[in-house]
Structures are given as C-alpha cells and as structure tokens.
A and B are shown apart, each in its own frame.
Chain A
Amino acid sequence: MAKVDLTFGKKLKKYGAIDFNACYNCGTCTAVCALSTEMDSFPREMIRLSVTGQSEDIKASLKPWLCYYCGECTTYCPQEAKPGELMMSLRRYLISRYDWTGLSSIFYQNLTAYIIAFLLVIIAVVGIFLSGTFSKESFMHLGHYFEMIAIGGVFLIILLPNLIRMWRFTLLSKNINANIKHYWIALKDLFTHMFTQKRTLACNDEKDNKVWWFEHFILVIGYLSLLFTTVFLNWFGTKSLVVISMGYLFSAIIFVVTFDFILRRVKKDSTKTTFSHFTDWFFVIWLFLMGLSAFTVRLFLDFNLLERYFWAYLIHITVLAQWALIIVPFGKWMHFLYRSFAMYFDKIAKLAKTGQH
C-alpha cells in the first residue's frame, strides 16, 4: 500500500510545477498527447503520482523524459492544471534525483544558492587572473587546459555516475530481463535521439513546432561542433583558416539561435515558452553569452585587439567556467544525456519485454 505524501507537491512547486492539484482525472491530456501510447501513457499518470506524492515511483519512471513538451495537454486541459509544465518540473526533479552530489537539488530549489555559485566562479577566475601568476598568453593556455580537464572531470565524476544511477533507478530496479544483445540493438536509438531529437517532430499542434525543432537541432550540432573546435582543434590558438572559419560559424549559430530562444521565452509565444524556471533563463542566456563571447574573442584575436581588450577573454572564460562547473553537471544541460538515455533504456525495456533478439 502506497502512502500519500502531500509535502511532495509543495516541493515540486519549487521545481516549477503549477496548479497540478486541480486535476480531476479526465485523461484529456493523455488522450490528446501525440507521443502517448498504449504502452507508455502519460501525462495523467504522472500527475496522479505527483498529487499523491509517490516520489519513488516517479524516480523509477522514464515517462517524464518521453514527453517532448509540445504543450497540447496544457492547452486542452479542462481544469487548467498545466500537465505539460508538471512534466517539465518532473524532469527537473529527476535531474536532481539522479545527481549523487545533491547539488542539483539545492540549485533547482534555491535561486540564492544558484547565484552564489555563479559569483564564486567569477571570484575564482578573476582572482587567478589578478594574482599575476600568469601572463595573458599563459592565462589563455590555462583556459584551454581548464576546458579539457573540465570535460574529462565532469564526465567522470558527475555524468557517468549519474547515468549509472539513472540506469539503476529506471531499469535495474524493475527486474527487467534485458540481456547484452538488447543493449546492443537499442544503441541505435540512443544515438538517433541524442543527435536528432526526432521525437519532437511527432509532437503536433503548436504552430511552429518544426521550426523550433530545426533551431534546436542546429543548436545542438553547433554546440557540439564548437566544443570540438575549441577544445580539440584549439580554435583560439590555431592558424588554420578552415578551423577559424568553422569556429566563427558554430559560435554564430549558438548565439543567433539562443537569442531567438530567449526572445521566445520573453514573448511567451507558445505553451512551452510561457512558464520559465530561473534555471531555464540561466541556461539560454549563458549559452548565448558563451557563443557571443567566443565569437568576440576570436574576432579580437584576428584584428590584434585582444591584447588591448583582454576583458573579452576574461568574460568568455568566466561564462565558460560557470557553464562547465554549474549548468552542465547540475542543471538543464543534463537533459541532453538523460533524454537520449531514457529513449535508450525505454527501448531496452521494450525489447526485453517482447523477448526480441
């Protein structure tokens, strides 16, 4: 017998959930959802679990990740319980549940703590620069090293353990009889969903869903490419014209697309951009700043201005450090991994269930 936990709902409100207690269980949301299937029916089940506070069931569920938030459920909900936003906040909640450090949970629920963390990073970066230990050139070298170390470190210390926890919660705990072959076959799904987000296209309604998908798609590609260009092709140090122009292109993609995403959230032009948690704002704005500052730094380098306007690099490396140390490991960035791994795990579970080899 499950116990009702009413405090859970209050907690969820800090993650951005609104009005889900208004639900009278008619099932309209589930019926209109283009992604909901007989095997995976949502979001009403998730609302029910949230209202009654079944946090362990929610922790073990992949359904919040199966929703790509087109917002139809919220548009048609007869009780205005905003099921779409509940699914969004459940994803934020799950990010903090998967995180072994517990920092995500603090950051999501507490804006002050979040801002303090951002300030600490600024102090650290500016402090190192002002200490005078490094010349401008070696400071930039240090920055490059930091990028490589941060990627490796965050991956090994945060991303990998958290993914393993997610796997334990959602697959292992359910006694799903999956063998190695299922894991192998399903890999295709993992990469398809990771790099194409094609499930978004199955969402209907919300007039410019396809435009939104395309913007998001090139943003992901642009982001990954810029990461590769700066870290492995040493964009700020290279003489290769090809690499330099690639970097310009990718960073421009990032700040142009994120500028549009910020605009959408300001204009609240669709259901999914109407309700923004503060972490959403940080996410889009920091990504925008990162693209723009990287672009500026390379521009200054090309016109030999960086020596004089070194603050541009200082801003860039600060934004980057905040991104790599706070937003990536403990925030919205993780949806890149969790969404695709959720599709992967879901496929494995389905393969195991049907006994397919």
Chain B
Amino acid sequence: MPFAGKKLYDALVVGGGIAGIESALNLANNNLKVLLVEKDLTLGGKMIMLSKVFPTLDCSACITTPKISEVARHPNITILTNTNILQIEKQDKNYFKARIKEKARYVNISDCTGCQLCEEACPVVVPDQYQYDLVGRKAAYIPFNIASPRVASIDMDNCVLCGACEKACPTGCIDFTQEDKEYEIIAKTVIMATGFNLFDPLKIPRFSYGNSKNVITALQMERLLAPTRPYNHVLRPGDGQVPCNIAYVLCAGSRDLSVGNPICSQICCMYSIKQAQLLMGALPMADVTIYYINIRSFGKGFEEFYEQAKGMGVNFVKGKVGKITETDNGNLILWYEDINQGKVIEKKHDLVVLSVGVLANDEPKKLIQGWEKDEYSFAHQKDLFYTPSLSSIEGVFLAGTTSGPMDIPDSILSAGSAAMEAIRYVKQTSIDL
C-alpha cells in the first residue's frame, strides 16, 4: 500500500529483513494495520543476498521473494524503504509517536518501470554494495533484479549531475529536485527487527583482508555462489582465476575477546559447511579446507549436514588460523597450529574465506528511550524463558537477531512470537486513536 502520509497504524515494524517481513505478515493477517520501515533501498535484508540455506540447501531467494511479494501486495501493510527512524517516543501508556525520514531517491517510485535505461546511460561506476564490492554498479541503479520495490535510485554521493539518466528515462520519473521528507506517525506497538551487523575483518590485520584481494568474507562467497552471482562462476577476485584450493577461517571475529566479541555467532560453522558443499558442486576439482576451533552443529539436521560435508571430501582441520600472508602470485599462506598434531603448519591456498561473525546492531539504543541492551549490545530480553520477545519497554517487541545471533529458522520463529505478543498487547490496551 502506498504511504500517502497516513498517520495512524496499529504496528510499526522497524526493519525489512526476513524477521521484519515475517512479523509484518503475521500482524497484517490478523487485521492490524502495519507500517514497515526499511532503511535500505529494498526489502529482504541479508537473507535475500544468500545463495542457499542450511541444512536443506534450499534457494534462499526463493524463500524470501514470495514473502516479500506477499508483504508488498498486502492491503494491511504500508512499506517505506530508504527511510530512517529518527526517534520513537512512548506517548502515554498506550501508543508510540515516531518521527521518520524518507530519504530522497530522486526517482518517482510510482512512475518507474524498472527498465534500467538510466543504468545504461549513467557514466559513473562505483563498487556495488549489493554484491559486496565484488563488481561495480552505476550511480543511477536498481539494487538487484529481485529487489522490492524494483525501481531505480540515484546515488547522490557519487552522481556527477550530468543528467544522462534523466534524458534516457522513458517515463520521466527522475527528479533531481526531490528532498528528504520527514513524517510523524502514531503506532500502538513497535516491533524491532533491526537485525545484525557483520564483523569487519579489517579489524584483524593479521588476516590480510583488504590487503590481499583473494581474502574474502563469507558474504562475498555467498554472492559468488548465488544464482544471481556477479561473474557467473566462482572466480577469485584478485585475478579471475578459478580457485582450486580454498580455505575457510572460522571464528573470524567471533569467540575472540581481543576484538571485543567473546560470543559464538551460531551461524558461521554451518554456513561455511554449506558453502563448502556448494563449492564441491561448483568446482568439482577444488579442495576445500575448513579451519575450526570447534564445529558447532547443534540444530536439527546440522550434525548430519556436517557429516555429509566430510563424506563429500571437505577437509576439516582443528586449529584457528593465526595469520595470513600473500605471495607474489596472489596465493595465500596460512599459519595455524594443527591441534591434533601440536605443530605449527604453513599451508598454501589460492582463496581464503573469512567466516565473519555476527555483531549486534546498536541502532535501537539511539532510536528509543528506555531501550536496554545486554553486555554484547544485543537487545535485553526482559524474560528470556517466559516471554523472550519482550524488550525492556512495554509495547516494544523483539524479532530476529535484534536479541542475539540466530539462524534463519530461529529468526522466523522469533518474528512470529514477537508478532503474537504484539497482537496480544494491542488487543489488551486497545484504545481509539
């Protein structure tokens, strides 16, 4: 539903990733009017960027996109993308006032057909954040093919204002005079589905990320493996060669006090095992080695999935990689202690994937007064066992990784639970606005 400046909603859902989408659908199907606010240009969050999901190896985008179209078409859901929450205030016992800012897109959403002629015309090329910088994009661009809304946007930070896109656009929807718009809305309840941040491997210079092009993050590998992948093949970014000896460095930024994140990210072991299996399919001649401290395959079907990877020939080595150095031809030398032998080993690989961990998204703290966080900056859960979706503020509920690292099924469960609690809350405190 178009926004059209409407003021009153039953629920405000902050975040349009899989948890926000799931919450919004649950609420809307129970006849609550929902405003879904996403800061990015498109819905889908991190899940829509993934190749496959563990342990079933289902296509990730094939699960996300139907849910997104359902949200997009739902009469009870209003979507605002490219929009930031500035402040949420609890007005009295029963409702919240939110100030939101819809950033200028410089494209009229309702008129854009997504024809991509502006993209062709635009002379500016910058790294594509939706492909995790593996390739470039234009300054006038559609985020990716299955984006929602699938409309263009002008990246004003990089635009040279040449006007080429405006001339190319057949519907005349490009509007350089657009400005950011601020609104104030009222909602009875708020669901925080603000997700997580990925650990930035630049914080560990020993891993050579940023210096060596052939050291990539697991999210970059997701893109290399996804059906909508940038090179249409798994190639290493340094020189475009087909890698044949790939290493995974687990616990890159997790379980590591020296970078301030002592907790387990819960997903890295499994997504690395998943990627290893996919690589076995994509590059049948390649060796894949996973360097680990402990493999944590605790979920349903996870241990079997791990055994399956071993059966497929993935090489598991117990020992955390200590440092990585680059050789002249872009290959990498990994230094680790093989714990089972008690020996330091130097091993050469031609592509290294850092299995980066999950960090809390600290933003809710800035958005709303009374927000309490736990010692790792995730949301404080008021009663972890009794009602895990409850935040420290009455009427604000927690969906997905807002409250801690979790995988996709757990995020969806958590989103359902948050929606249920929110419905109960609205019913109990219902007043006429």
Contact = CB atoms under 8 A, between A and B. Distances in A.
Contacts of B251: 26, 78
B343 A41 contact: yes
Interface stretch (A28-36, A130-138, A242-250, A254-262): A28-36
A25 interface: yes
Given A41-B337, A76-B258, A80-B257, A28 B322 contact: yes
Contact of A25 (B206, B256, B339): B339
Contacts of B342: 41, 44-45
B346 to A, nearest CB: 8
A117 B336 CA distance: 46
B344 A80 contact: no
B229 to A, nearest CB: 32
A32 B337 CA distance: 9
Contacts of B67: none
A197 interface: no
Interface string A15-33: 0000000001111111111
Interface residues of B, number: 23
A124 to B, nearest CB: 49
B395 interface: no
B231 to A, nearest CB: 32
Nearest to A27: B337
Given A36-B344, A41-B337, A41-B343, A78 B255 contact: yes
B323 A32 contact: yes
B264 to A, nearest CB: 11
Given A24-B293, A26-B320, A31-B320, A38 B344 contact: yes
A32 B322 contact: yes
Interface string A75-93: 1111110000000000000
B343 A38 contact: yes
B258 A30 contact: no
B337 A77 contact: no
A29 B344 CA distance: 10
B130 interface: no
B335 interface: yes
A1 to B, nearest CB: 18
A240 to B, nearest CB: 53
B323 A27 contact: no
A15 B220 CA distance: 47
Contact of A78 (B258, B335, B339, B345): B258
Size bracket, chain A contacts: 20 to 34
Interface string A257-295: 000000000000000000000000000000000000000
Among A24, A38, A78, the one with the most B-chain Cβ atoms within 10 Å of its Cβ is A78
Nearest to B292: A26
Interface in A59-85: 75-80
A180 B138 CA distance: 74
Interface string B239-265: 000000000000100011110001000
Given A75-B258, A76-B206, A77-B258, A28 B320 contact: yes
Nearest to B255: A78
B319 interface: yes
A37 B342 CA distance: 11
B321 interface: yes
Contact of A37 (B293, B321, B344): B344
Contacts of B255: 24, 78
Nearest to A48: B342
A27 B291 CA distance: 11
Contact of A79 (B257, B339, B343): B257
A27 B341 CA distance: 11
A162 to B, nearest CB: 29
Contacts of A25: 293, 339
Interface of B: 206, 251, 255-258, 262, 293-294, 319-323, 335-339, 342-345
Interface of A: 24-33, 36-38, 41, 44-45, 75-80
11 contacts: A24-B294, A26-B293, A27-B322, A27-B337, A32-B322, A32-B323, A36-B337, A38-B344, A76-B322, A77-B258, A78-B320
Closest 8 CB pairs of A and B: A31-B322, A27-B337, A26-B320, A78-B256, A30-B337, A32-B322, A27-B319, A26-B293
